[in-house]
Every structure is written in structure tokens, then in C-alpha cells.
Amino acid sequence: MTRLVILISGRGSNMEALLAADLPVEFAAVISNRATAPGLQTAAARGITTAVVDHTAYADRAAFDVALMTEIDRHQPDLVVLAGFMRVLTDAFVHHYAGRLINVHPALLPAFPGLHTHERALAAGVKLHGCTVHFVTPEVDVGPIVIQAAVPVLDDDTVDSLAARVLAEEHRIFPQAIRWFAEGRVSITAGRVLLRPPTGTPHALISPPLDD
């Protein structure tokens, strides 16, 4: 069974979605860079091992990442999952977990990498926004994409309303991506994620909808 280590920085709502999804995985540990992260209590209540590697205790990012890798590797994971982990990781860390480090990002990559995605989507006037689950590579928010979900951007949307709609889709597609990985269906070829067997052909997403 696939062993998961989940990294969080806060409440861990995406972690909760994974825990609730009845995945064919073993949750080996939940690790946070903040001792006050509410998600640690959620994981502990489920009987999952938790740990804290406080980034403020280290002189620089590289030293923190070495300590974090040491803690992660104690649990011998097959996959490391970033579920709201608010730290930029060093190249050494990313290379150490190449092909087994997955993140969920609140935008339709490659659009709007980085922070403040919902504000930027509204400012750009896009008609579709969404979320992406992808493998992590040294360049931030650029790795091979596993799955995406799109939501319409409504005329009266605020940052909060758009963020809430996107988050609901994150909670749907993140468990699906992890399930595919655990089932051995995911492979990376020429920088693209391929699924075995391939999924069906989806319908086009059009927003605003066409007139009848």
C-alpha cells in the first residue's frame, strides 16, 4: 500500500479531503512547519503520527529543508503531498523526491503561478478559473499536471466567493490524483502526465455558456 506523508502549514482542509476519501493508501505522517497548525490536531485525532519542523528554528531555507527531509524519510513515504504547505522548497529537496512530490495549486496552471491567484484572476478578467494538481519541480508551479478542474468566474464574484468555489474543486480532484498514483496509473513522459488506462474524452468547458 502506498505510504503518504502530508505536509501542511495551517488548517489542512485539503488534507481533510484526502483523509475522508477512502483512498488505498497508508497515512504515514502529517508534518507541519508550524506547531500551531490546526491540521495537526485533526490528524492526531485520526490516529495519524504528527511532527513539527519549525522553519523559524533554522538559519536558512537549505538547513530547514535538510531537517524536513530527515523527518519525512523517517516515515519511508512513497509519496509526499503538499496540502497547503506554505514554503518554497529548495532544488535539493525537490530532486530528492522527484516523481513522488505532489502539490495542489489554486489556479489553472500555467496561468497564475505563485500567490494571490484569485485576486489576479479577477483582475485579468478571465472567464474560467480553477485548480491544478501537479508534480513539483524546481521551478515553482511548473511541474507535470495530473488533473485540473475549472469553475466559471461570475460577474459578481469576490475574491472570497471565487476562492470558495475553487477550494471545493480542490477537495474533489486532489483525492483523485492521489488515488491514480496509488493505483499505479500515473506516469510522466516528456514532461507530461499520462494515465493508464487513459480517461474518457471530456466535454468542452465553455463560460459563459452559449445561448440556446
Catalytic residues: 105
List C-alpha distances in Å: 146 to 88, 142, 153, 170: 20, 12, 23, 13
* Distance (Å, whole) CA 143 – CA 13: 23
Q: How far apart are CA 49 and CA 57, in angstroms?
A: 21
Q: Find, among 118, 64, 112, 57, the residue nearest to 88 by Cα.
A: 64
- DSSP label of 133: E
* Distance in angstroms (rounded) separating the CA atoms of residues 105 and 115: 9
